[in-house]
Structure 1
Amino acid sequence: MRILTFVAALMMPLAAQAQDRAPILMDVAETHILPRFDKLPETTGALVSASRVDCDPTSPALRAAYDAAFDSWISASHLRFGPTEVDDRAFAMAFWPDTKGFTTKALSQHIATEDDAVQDPEAYAETSIAGRGFFALERMLFDPAFAEQGNADYRCALIQAIAADIDANARAMADDWQSYAPGLTRPSENGRYRTQDEAMQELFKALSTGLEFTADTRLGRPLGTFDRPRPNRAEAWRSKRSLRHVELSLVALRDLASRLAFDHPDIAADLDAAFARAIENAQAIDDPALAGVSDPQARFRIEALQQSIHDIRAIASTELGPTLGISAGFNSLDGD
């Protein structure tokens, strides 16, 4: 019996490679990827409209449109390959972590010089990537330091230019994903993905990298160390979206994981239970900006949330990956 079990274990990757992955690839593209990028321009378009109606940073309508558009991006941002990475689009949408304060410098420079790039979308798209995207807009809407800088009319134009740039990127990604998706679902010898295994590897990498980024960066940066917590390193803490980004990411990654594990119900159940625990942990925390990393009792709950995400990663790497015959491999967090 042990010999048979050992042989079966050796054969498992080969069996996984022999599977027809077409149904899973089609399902992920049509029900996970494309709907997210189709929705993104709807929300970013509404953001542009709101900025044109009222560019006051404290406008409830503008801030609500900002939240809705940012929600849509976070729900798609784990898909960092293909059209999402062309022309550094993902960084242009969300330049974070910004460890050297480049966003502050870029925005201050625009305001101080009244850079006329704000009048030309193509020109603004060529400006510093740190002055573009949701985190630049967060500074303009939520950072008191920018509330009185320079001329009010110019600040309004800058807010509108950032919103329009976000929308242009969203539409470019949505359009390009329509033509990119068929190559993912139907690999070919001369295509971007030559085999179904390569396409599955890309999707598994998105899952693995998304979990890593949420645990180690979204939570790890503000946690810092027990003796030196860093609450102001939390993602989008000024707009109090830090915890929301963790939850949105988990919900999106849970959906992707369930589709990748569709042919393996036991693993799918393990993953779903682990995601449920992590999401429940996130929802039990009443700390939208993750400021509680500085308080021992609150910190414990945030660390428990981080550990629950590590548990998901363990299941993905030790159960799902080997069963699919693939591994996370290189990811976009590794750099060049």
Structure 2
Amino acid sequence: MTRPSLSRLLAPALALSLALPLTLTPATAQAGVVEEALEQHILPGFETLAQEAQQLSATAAKVCDPGSVQLQQAYGEAFDAWVAVSHLRFGPTERDNRAFALAFWPDSRGKTPKALRALITAEDPIAKDAAAYTSVSIAARGFYALEFLLYDTDMQQQGSADYRCQLTRAIAEDIATTADVIWTDWRDSYADKIRHPGDRYRSEAEVKQELFKALNTGLQILIDMRLGRPLGTYDRPRPKRAEAYRSGRSQHHVILALEALAPLARILSDGDADLTAKLDGAFDTAIKHAKRLDDPTFAGVAEPGTRLRIEAVQQDIRKLRETIGEDLGPALGVEAGFNALDGD
């Protein structure tokens, strides 16, 4: 039986959230922004990531043929789960470079294929030791490294099939281990730091600042990276810089990220009916336009008509980010501040 994709699971929930009346139940109202963000967004998201990553590892242990529909589906489900929480780049995700271990992108210098080829050429035995594999170059770990093994025809010609199989299993297991430790840290310790400020966060206001920053970061990633990188310039479009184009997921990631960010924005609106309606409308417009692109890999950035539609989605998200900065930030009493994409 084919399992439904995470995006299909998210879509009905998102549509329902946009259609529901804005009146909060007593339990929800009492819970507050922070508790609601934890219980409805953060913890379920990372639990799903851990579960889907474990399923990916289990599937790879049974079948490692890159052409396997079962393996590709498990990969897609786990990758979906990561994209849905990829904006939450603080706490357990940030520790020990775990986010980069799951998703080393953008890779402007081509480090991932170089690192993989080096392992394959040498038939490095580290691929047989899951614990030791965490010490390899971070470029040879995570979803983008696995994408090369499953979808890149050139990589599939490198070395022996047996070693590539072992490497596929090692990367899948490493993804599962990393996802599980992130989820465990959230569940067992970091959630309490969010609920009870005083250590990592000095006040609830600082927690709200962190959540607002995560929302802002997610939108910035969409504008500058998921859309901006393949768009390049009009004279020099860069379709091969699109995220996960080898697996045909570039457009899908934009839609999925928007569908994941919309509920967080609604939570942060904290029951403000006018603000919630304004943000809902802006997200709905961006999602609708993103779905209409019909360009899975953003190859159309070099074609004027398609490029214009992709730029329109980027502009939708820019306007959305402006609304969040001008309306949601002041309502929360916070500013965007630095985010996970900024330097020290």
User: Does the 8 Å contact 2:265/2:279 carry over to 1?
Assistant: yes
Secondary structure of 1:194's counterpart equals coil
User: Does the 8 Å contact 1:140/1:147 carry over to 2?
Assistant: yes
Q: State whether structure 2 residue 158 is matched by structure 1 residue 145.
A: no
User: Does the 8 Å contact 1:22/1:185 carry over to 2?
Assistant: no
Residue of structure 1 in register with 2:195 after alignment: 185
Q: Hey, what's the Cα distance between the residues in 2 that align with 1:72 and 1:333?
A: 20
User: Does the 8 Å contact 1:21/1:196 carry over to 2?
Assistant: no
Shift of 1:21: 9.7
Q: Hey, what's the Cα distance between the residues in 1 that align with 2:117 and 2:328?
A: 47
Secondary structure of 1:327's counterpart equals coil
Residue of structure 1 in register with 2:292 after alignment: 284
Residue of structure 2 in register with 1:8 after alignment: none
Secondary structure of 1:302's counterpart equals helix
Q: Hey, what's the Cα distance between the residues in 2 that align with 1:71 and 1:22?
A: 28
Structure 1: which amino acid aligns with 2:249? R
Residue of structure 2 in register with 1:230 after alignment: 238
Match of 1:258 among 253, 263, 266: 266
Match of 2:213 among 201, 205, 220: 205
Q: Please list every run of at least 4 consecutive aligned residues from structure 1 whose deviation after the TM superposition is greater than 4 angstroms.
A: none
Shift of 1:262: 2.1
Residue of structure 2 in register with 1:83 after alignment: 92
Residue of structure 2 in register with 1:130 after alignment: 139
Matched length: 315
Secondary structure of 1:25's counterpart equals helix
Shift of 1:183: 1.1
Q: State whether structure 2 residue 221 is matched by structure 1 residue 245.
A: no
Residue of structure 2 in register with 1:11 after alignment: none
User: Does the 8 Å contact 1:219/1:306 carry over to 2?
Assistant: yes
User: Does the 8 Å contact 2:142/2:172 carry over to 1?
Assistant: yes
Q: Hey, what's the Cα distance between the residues in 2 that align with 1:300 and 1:21?
A: 45
Q: Hey, what's the Cα distance between the residues in 2 that align with 1:193 and 1:211?
A: 24
Residue of structure 2 in register with 1:274 after alignment: 282
The 5-angstrom pairing of residues 49-64 of structure 1 reads 49-64=58-73
User: Does the 8 Å contact 2:66/2:149 carry over to 1?
Assistant: yes
Secondary structure of 2:157's counterpart equals coil
Q: Which has the larger radius of gyration?
A: 1
Structure 1: which amino acid aligns with 2:195? T
Residue by residue, what CA displacement relative to the aligned partner does 1:195-245 show, whole Å, maximum 9, x if unpaired? Answer: 010000000000001101111110000000111100000000000100111
Secondary structure of 2:84's counterpart equals helix
Secondary structure of 1:117's counterpart equals helix
Q: Hey, what's the Cα distance between the residues in 2 that align with 1:111 and 1:288?
A: 30
Match of 1:160 among 163, 169, 183: 169
Q: Hey, what's the Cα distance between the residues in 1 that align with 2:208 and 2:131?
A: 36
Shift of 1:48: 1.0
Secondary structure of 1:72's counterpart equals helix
Structure 2: which amino acid aligns with 1:217? M
Q: TM-score, normalised by structure 1?
A: 0.92
Q: Hey, what's the Cα distance between the residues in 2 that align with 1:270 and 1:21?
A: 24
Residue of structure 1 in register with 2:54 after alignment: 45
Residue of structure 2 in register with 1:17 after alignment: none
Gap change, CA 1:228 and 1:183, over 3 Å in 2: same
Shift of 1:45: 1.1
Q: Is there any run of 5+ residues in structure 1 with no aligned partner, and where?
A: 1-19
The 5-angstrom pairing of residues 91-106 of structure 1 reads 91-106=100-115
Residue of structure 2 in register with 1:3 after alignment: none
Residue of structure 2 in register with 1:300 after alignment: 308
Identity across matched positions, percent = 52
Q: TM-score, normalised by structure 2?
A: 0.90
Gap change, CA 1:172 and 1:164, over 3 Å in 2: same
Match of 2:318 among 302, 310, 322: 310
Secondary structure of 2:64's counterpart equals coil
Residue by residue, what CA displacement relative to the aligned partner does 1:236-293 show, whole Å, maximum 9, x if unpaired? Answer: 0000100111011101110100000023221111111000000000111111101110
Residue of structure 2 in register with 1:31 after alignment: 40
User: Does the 8 Å contact 1:83/1:180 carry over to 2?
Assistant: yes
